[in-house]
A and B are shown apart, each in its own frame.
Chain A
Amino acid sequence: MTVTSPGEMAIKTEGDIVLVRRTAREVAMQTGFGATDVTRIVTASSEMARNIFKYAGEGCMRWRTSERDGLPGIELEFEDHGPGIADLNLALQEGYTTGEGLGMGLPGAKRLMDELEIRSQVGKGTKVVLRKWKRTLQ
């Protein structure tokens, strides 16, 4: 099975955060991203995975490759059925913290990726989709 075929993995334990990083790294490299973009993708994934573990207890990551204007890209989906985020706008604001410091890393992840899509409902759960495409000048 090549990693560039779509896949899914569970995020249940603290150790799964490391597995998320490893998987994201594999998929990003196979998609053809350069070293710096791979690091951006892995770092953003790490933040999302830790959110799931910290706030929802468990969830999953799905990945697939995509394409835009002839250039390959990556799409990572992070989903949980946890408490959900009450105020999305606040969570996406730069510098927002939840008291534990550093908040949920959403503004940071948004800066590292090309697109960040988030849907959340209190009591139901949260789904974050991260997307990034290769740039021609790479």
Chain B
Amino acid sequence: MKSRVNKADRDKSSNRVSGDISSNTELLQRLVNTVKDYAILLLDTEGRVLTWNVGAERIKGWKADEIIGQPISKFYAPEDIEKGKMEQELREAAEKGRFEDESWRVRKDGTRFWANVILTALRDENGKLLGFGKVTRDLTERRQNEERIKKQSLEILEMATVPVVQVWEGIVLVPIIGTLDSQRTQQLMERLLNRVTETGSPVALLDITGVSTIDSQTAQHLIETTSAVRLLGAEVILTGVRPSIAQTLVHLGIDLSNVITRSSLAAGLQRAFNLLNTTVTSIPQNNGGGK
């Protein structure tokens, strides 16, 4: 907090105070008291609050008389209190001189904010620990921006890995590449069902030409996806079922008798057009699909 002011600046200063500005503790106090963007606190050796500033009230919600004397664990999230985070942080600051991290903190009203926290050990000239200084900054907005950018990047990536394409009026196509784990299946189901509803497409083609080998998990997820699409009132045609895939499915004992399947995408499209032309627009839930 000490700022080095050289002689030239000092002379220009409009705040005429006696002596060196950097040794004027009154100004330093005023700085700490009025800074709004940082919570600046002094703590005793046990981590209890000794001083409070405007920034602290603004960021954490507590008024000075409500919080002085309380331990800083008051600002910690319940799961961190359980883990003994306050004790760990104070210990590290005492050992290394300094502790810094970014994590969730809790305001007086119980809401959370993302905080950058720096704890500094304060010692007298003999090295005895007097207490700690704590500076906290609310980085929630910055984090939200980062999260939003991350989310958008992931959405773009997701669209590339689980693309749902409308190939004709009433027909959507999902080319599936690789295997389907639970998470990818969830993404697939969400995107596919949303597209089916948005476009009003009664037929969805799931093309597994790009799936080199199929395992039980992927097969079950495909069946699950088919059930979900049927609940919407659309039909699913599983295309690209090559001989090797067909063999594997039978050997694995997967029951696909309830699903329309075709060996190639072309054959699947043909079936799709048949379905659309007969304008059968409702799907029975039991024994559905037919062949």
Q: Which A residues contact B (CB, under 8 angstroms)?
A: 1-2, 4-6, 34, 36, 64-68, 72, 135-138
Contacts and interface: CB of A to CB of B under 8 A. Distances in A.
B186 to A, nearest CB: 8
Given A67-B79, A135-B183, A137-B187, A2 B109 contact: yes
Contact of B109 (A1, A66, A67): A1
Interface in B183-200: 183, 186-187, 190
Interface of B: 77-79, 104, 109-112, 150-151, 154, 158, 183, 186-187, 190
Contacts of A137: 154, 158, 183, 187
A36 B185 CA distance: 13
Contacts of A72: 112
16 contacts: A4-B111, A6-B110, A36-B190, A64-B78, A65-B112, A66-B78, A66-B79, A67-B79, A67-B112, A135-B183, A137-B154, A137-B158, A137-B183, A137-B187, A138-B151, A138-B154
Contacts of B112: 4, 65, 67, 72
Nearest to B150: A136
Nearest to A30: B111
Among A64, A72, A136, A137, residue most surrounded by chain B Cβ atoms (within 10 Å): A137
A130 to B, nearest CB: 16
Contact of B154 (A6, A36, A136): A136
A104 to B, nearest CB: 23
Contacts of A65: 112
A5 B109 contact: yes
A3 to B, nearest CB: 10
Nearest to B102: A70
Nearest to B154: A137
A88 to B, nearest CB: 25
A35 to B, nearest CB: 8
The DSSP consensus for interface residues of chain A is: loop
Contacts of B110: 2, 4-6
8 residue pairs, one from A and one from B, having the closest CB atoms: A5-B110, A67-B104, A36-B190, A137-B154, A2-B111, A4-B111, A5-B109, A66-B79
Nearest to A65: B112
Given A2-B109, A64-B78, A67-B104, 14 more contacts: A1-B109, A2-B111, A4-B110, A4-B112, A5-B111, A36-B186, A66-B79, A67-B77, A67-B79, A68-B79, A72-B112, A135-B183, A136-B154, A138-B151
Nearest to B109: A5
Contacts of A138: 151, 154
A34 B186 CA distance: 12
A137 B162 CA distance: 12
Contacts of B109: 1-2, 5
A64 B81 CA distance: 15
Nearest to B151: A138
Nearest to B187: A137
Contacts of B183: 135, 137
A86 B78 CA distance: 32
Nearest to B107: A5
A29 to B, nearest CB: 15
